Structure 1
Amino acid sequence: MTAPTEMQSVFVRRLGDGGRNLLAFHCTIAHSGAWSGLSKALDGSASLVAPDMLSHGRSPDWDGQSDFFDAVTGLAAVELTKPMDIVGHSFGAIVALRLAMEHPDLVRSLTLIEPVFFAVAKQDAPDLYDQHLRESQPIEAAFQAGDEALAARLFNRMWSTGIGPKWPDLPERTRAGMVRGIHVVPASYPVLYDDQAGLLDPDKCKRVLMPTLLLSGSKTHPTIPAICDGLQRRLPNARHEVIQSAGHMLPISHPLETSALLQGLWKAGHGTGVTTG
């Protein structure tokens, strides 16, 4: 996949100067700076490359016409020029999974943190999937009303439980960035809910042979562990670890625990568990 011609580049943040090349994809309505804590926790062991998604951070806006998932993944693939470890958070984890399927020879290890791949829960845990749809109704109502500021506020509340200040206490610049990016959420639904990209195809899953770590927080939404367990069953070399006392934003709230698991994966490969306490 190549980058769309109308979007020739995105902003890329580079953190650390260690020997391990790590490509990292942030979650929706965040930006690449979200990886700063993890980079610090890795303590010089990695050189982290973190693009800002379209409509996020310092990157240009998505055009609203092209397929959002194709556009984001194509631009992400530009950075995958040599064998790298890949980590993705939330929607970024689905970008990471697709890259691992399309470029398995360039992905040394894959870490999917709190992957919001609801199509897995739709197949494996329909009751939890339906529960998620009910909990998301206020956000959907805000989108249907055209109130993106309210949608961003509710989306942030739903996924940022247990971390950071409440919406009124966030800096105006932070709130503005979240509102700017919120329109990509509905654009991601065909991929996340209906697997429009066909990522659950067994033949594609079989290509993900690299050591794969699935991470969830013990206090996250109940669909996420079901998604992680479902992906563990589908991917040949995957394991699922849970970080205690963490929610959906665990790479930000628990960078030390996340770093320990990453380094354990890199050092020992699949089959060696890491105790997270």
Structure 2
Amino acid sequence: MTGIFRRHWPGQSDRPALALHCMLASGSYWGGIAGHLGGRVDLSGFDMPGHGRSDDWTPGPDDPDYHTAVTRIAASFITRPLDLIGHSMGATVALRLAVAAPEAVRSLTLIEPVLFAAAPDPDEQARDRQMQRLLSEGRREEAARGFVAVWGAQDFDDLPARMQQQMIDRIHLVAAAGPTLSQDRADILRKGGLESIHAPVMLISGQQSPPVIHRIAGALAERLPDVGRATVPGAGHMLPITHPEQVAGLIAVNLDRA
């Protein structure tokens, strides 16, 4: 796909890494993580379609779903084994890549992967239905407010007006990724898939994140051959932004394990 804005934080040239951001944000927030890593990896990233400085997502009738489109873009960055880092939906893309090509992953750090199919949750299912209903009725701001109330770092009303509008404009992308995350249409959880990842994996959660996040981490950890789990005290879902030093420290632990 054209119109994708690439990001790069230079570091150790023989240690490439790729970082994948969450929904309704951009790759820019990995800059804080890169700073705390101090050049230990040569970190690349990109803004997902419809996010940050990338072009809007305007799929044609024969184009893939949103999650698949993002996964293909991420795969285009991989030319040799690398350290793969993902947050929220970005973490599910990272996991999808690792299952598809475990030999391409040197280490895998998953920060709050929202693969809800791994731990079906009635509350999340209700939130999905609510979002679909609001979007079908054209109530985009209410949908964005509801999403941020659960997954954001601060109240919607405390965000700058420009950021509020960006979230309203993009909220349909959250719904577009929903089936892959809640129904595992990408078959990430297929038999033998997680078990094939022999690179060291680190699962990072925020202490104050929704309970489903911790259940997902537990379900994934049960199947991964080489896995560590960490919880950041006082943090919520947006911990790469709110707690970059702690998150970078945990990423570094996993880098050392590779």
The two structures have a TM-score, normalised by structure 1, of 0.86
Question: Does 2:43 align with 1:48?
Answer: yes
> Which among 69, 81, 87 is matched to residue 83 of structure 1?
81
TM-aligned CA deviation for residue 182 of structure 1: 1.3
Structure 1 residue identity aligned to 2:223? R
- Superposition pairs for residues 78-117 of structure 1, below 5 Å? 78-117=76-115
1:169-193 residue CA offsets vs partner (Å, 9 max, x unmatched): 3223322322232111111122111
CA contact (8 A) 2:200 2:226 kept: yes
User: Structure 1 CA distance, aligned partners of 2:190 and 2:88?
Assistant: 20
CA distance in 1, matches of 2:3, 2:192: 31
The answer on whether the counterparts of 1:57 and 1:177 sit within 8 Å (CA) in structure 2 is no
> What root-mean-square deviation, in Å, do the aligned CA atoms of Structure 1 and Structure 2 show?
1.7
Matched, 1:131 2:123: yes
SS in 2 for 1:203: coil
**1:182 counterpart SS class:** helix
Identity, % of aligned pairs?
Answer: 38
Specify every segment of 5 or more residues in structure 2 that has no aligned partner in the other structure, as ranges. none
Q: 1:135 to 1:71 in 2, by over 3 A?
A: closer
Query: Which whole-Å deviations, capped at 9, do the CAs of 1:110-168 have from their partners, x for residues lacking one?
Result: 0110011110112xxxxxx01233355553442232222221222122112xx34x323
Distance in structure 1 (CA, Å) of the matches to 2:134 and 2:122: 19
Does the Cα contact within 8 Å between 1:56 and 1:180 map onto a contact in 2? no
Q: Give the count of matched residue pairs.
A: 254
CA distance in 2 between partners of 1:71 and 1:137 (Å): 24
Q: Does residue 1:185 correspond to 2:174, yes or no? A: yes
Query: How far apart are the structure 1 equivalents of 2:16 and 2:219?
Result: 28
Match of 1:43, as an amino acid?
G
Q: 2:146 aligned to 139, 143, 154, which one?
A: 154
Alignment-derived partner of residue 202 in structure 1: 191
Ranges in structure 1 where 5+ consecutive residues have no aligned partner: 1-6, 123-128, 270-277
Name the aligned partner's letter for residue 210 of structure 2.
Answer: H
CA distance in structure 1 between the aligned counterparts of 2:189 and 2:127, rounded to whole angstroms: 25
Question: Which stretch has the larger CA shift, 213-222 or 16-25?
Answer: 16-25
Aligned counterparts of 2:82 and 2:17: Cα–Cα separation in 1: 6
Distance (whole Å) between structure 1 residues aligned to residue 23 and residue 205 of structure 2: 17
Q: Is the 8 A contact 1:213 1:241 kept in 2?
A: yes
State how far apart, in whole Å, the 2-side matches of 1:152 and 1:216 are: 23
d(CA) in 1 for partners of 2:126 and 2:179?
A: 18
Aligned with 2:193: secondary structure? Answer: helix
Task: Please list the CA deviations of residues 232-260 of structure 1 after superposition, one character each: whole Å capped at 9, or x if unmatched.
Answer: 01222222211111110111111111111
- Residue number in structure 2 paired with 1:217: 206
| 2:140 aligned partner, one-letter code | E
> Which whole-Å CA distance do the structure 1 matches of 2:257 and 2:68 have between them?
33
